[in-house]
Amino acid sequence: MGVPTVTVCTDAFMSLAREESKNLGMPELRIVVVKHPLGGEPVDGVLQRGRLALEQVLHGLTHEA
């Protein structure tokens, strides 16, 4: 629909995310991957992963594929 979009998932679900994007007719969907798991991880580690993911999300939203 022309709306820049980036999906964020953990590496454990990357294959599923890619397969579903194809099944839903969006094979070029931009996906940012973070290390699994997030649950049970120290807050500082999760925040660091979030910062790294944010950079990739912003790039995905503002640059051509």
Number of alpha carbons in the 13 Å side-chain half-sphere of residue 43: 0
Element (H, E) at 8: strand 6-10
At 28-51, the pLDDT tens digits run 999 999 999 999 999 999 999 999
Q: What is the pLDDT of residue 32?
A: 98
pLDDT of 14 > 90? The answer is: yes
Residue 30 near residue 65, CB atoms below 8 Å: yes
Whether the per-residue pLDDT at 65 is higher than 80: the answer is: no
Characterise 25 by phi-psi region: left (phi > 0), alpha (psi -120 to 50), beta (else). Answer: left
Give the pLDDT confidence score for residue 1 in this predicted structure: 72
The first and second tokens of residue 62, run together, are 């503002």
pLDDT of 20 strictly over 90: yes
For 31, the enclosing helix (H) or strand (E) is: strand 30-34
- Average per-residue pLDDT for the chain: 95
